[in-house]
């Protein structure tokens, strides 16, 4: 039997940043950032979603308002903690969106909720991430010496150069960045039955992750599947933001009218 969930008694927790609470919404969209990212990544999303959707950016430990908390370095413990924290907010239909590391978190969180609580998202959006069943054989980088690790971050184009050149700021951020990379690079896929929710995958036309590889996300759902390629490199989440948000909004608008 599905878990019985009482309505949440508060409008925010350390895990969820509500920029514009919408108690009348018919669906909650939980958004998970990439490695090193925080909930501010999704600040612009609230104003571009239909009134039926409440955007809930997820704040992981070790960044922004949770900077002084220890970050997770294993996906399994991160997902277990996230499931416990978000469970009181799943009393109405919900969807997940995740980019890069966030895609992996949202996928495994959906499986965790199915195993433990017989719950499933109404929609899953994953972005900028190889399918979990495809092993990444590039080798670990989370334990590189500081200079090499920061050079890698610069080449990935996800951390502003002015941040990388700010020693005091990097001293604060490096443990979180290393932990996020460790989360991804120590992940091992375990086969389970596919999910039964619609799945949309986003990829960047100039990203290293090719369309053929992204197509194999199709194996992870028995419901509808679509793949959308957008202009930009790995961080098309920012450069093609308007187009990406519009697609997500259209899909969720359709779901909330059913």
Q: What is the pLDDT of residue 138?
A: 76
Closest Cα partner for 232 from 245, 222, 241?
241
Query: What percentage of residues in the chain have a pLDDT greater than 70?
Result: 91
| Secondary structure (3-state) at 254 | helix
Closest Cα partner for 170 from 157, 181, 161?
161
Domain locations in the chain as residue ranges: 27-133+189-257
β-partners of residue 123 are: 95
DSSP per position, 17-81: --SS--TT-SEEEEEEPPTT--GGGGTTTGGGS-TTEEEEEB--TTSGGGTTSPPP-SHHHHHHH
Least confident of 106-110, 114-118, 131-135: 131-135
Handedness of CA 109, 128, 137, 219 (dihedral sign): positive
Closest Cα partner for 220 from 197, 236, 239?
197
Taking the CA of residue 253 as centre, how many other CA atoms within 13 Å lie in the half-sphere pointing to its CB? 10
Least confident of 3-7, 108-112, 142-146, 196-200: 3-7
Per-residue confidence at 1, pLDDT binned at 50, 70, 90?
very low
Which helix H or strand E contains 109, and what residues bound it? helix 101-117
Q: What is the mean pLDDT of the chain?
A: 90
Asked if the model's pLDDT at residue 5 lies above 60, the reply is no
**What pTM did the predictor assign?**
0.91
CATH class label, 27-133+189-257:
alpha beta
| Secondary structure (3-state) at 219 | helix
Is 127 annotated as catalytic? no
Closest Cα partner for 237 from 141, 71, 101, 134?
101
Q: What is the pLDDT of residue 258?
A: 57
User: In whole angstroms, how far apart are CA 235 and each of 105, 109, 128, 231, 232?
Assistant: 17, 23, 8, 10, 7
DSSP per position, 182-215: HHHHT------PPB-S-EEEEEETTSSS-HHHHH
Residues belonging to the chain: 258
pLDDT: is 258 or 9 the higher one?
258
Closest Cα partner for 197 from 45, 94, 51, 52?
94
Q: Dihedral of the CA atoms 231, 239, 102, 175 (nearest 10)?
A: 130
Candidate list 9, 76, 100, 138, residue with the active-site label: 100
Q: What is the pLDDT of residue 7?
A: 46
Tell me how far apart the alpha carbons of residues 127 and 75 are, in angstroms, rounded to a whole number. Answer: 17
Q: What is the pLDDT of residue 13?
A: 84
Per-residue confidence at 10, pLDDT binned at 50, 70, 90?
very low
Asked if the model's pLDDT at residue 14 lies above 70, the reply is yes
Handedness of CA 204, 236, 148, 35 (dihedral sign): negative
């Amino acid at each position: 039997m599905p878990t019985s969930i009482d309505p949440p008694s508060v409008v925010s927790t350390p895990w969820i940043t509500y920029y514009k609470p919408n108690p009348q919404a018919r669906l909650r969209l939980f958004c998970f950032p990439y490695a090193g990212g925080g909930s501010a990544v999704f600040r612009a999303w609230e104003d571009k979603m239909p009134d039926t959707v409440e955007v809930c950016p997820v704040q992981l430990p070790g960044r922004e308002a949770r900077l002084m908390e220890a970050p997770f370095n294993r996906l399994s413990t991160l997902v277990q903690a996230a499931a416990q924290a978000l469970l009181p907010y799943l009393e109405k239909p919900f969807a997940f969106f995740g980019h890069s590391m966030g895609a992996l978190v949202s996928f495994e969180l959906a499986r965790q909720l199915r195993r433990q609580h017989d719950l499933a998202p109404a929609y899953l959006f994953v972005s900028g991430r190889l399918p979990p069943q495809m092993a990444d054989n590039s080798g670990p980088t989370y334990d590189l010496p500081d200079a090499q690790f920061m050079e890698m971050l610069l080449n990935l184009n996800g951390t502003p150069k002015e941040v990388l050149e700010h020693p005091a700021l990097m001293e604060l951020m490096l443990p979180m960045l290393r932990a996020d990379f460790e989360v991804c690079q120590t992940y091992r896929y375990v086969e389970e039955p596919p999910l039964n929710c619609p799945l949309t995958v986003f990829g960047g036309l100039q990203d290293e992750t090719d369309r053929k590889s992204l197509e194999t996300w199709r194996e992870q759902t028995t419901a509808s599947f679509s793949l959308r390629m957008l202009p930009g490199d790995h961080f098309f989440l920012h450069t093609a933001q308007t187009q990406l948000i519009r697609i997500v909004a259209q899909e969720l608008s359709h779901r909330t009218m059913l």
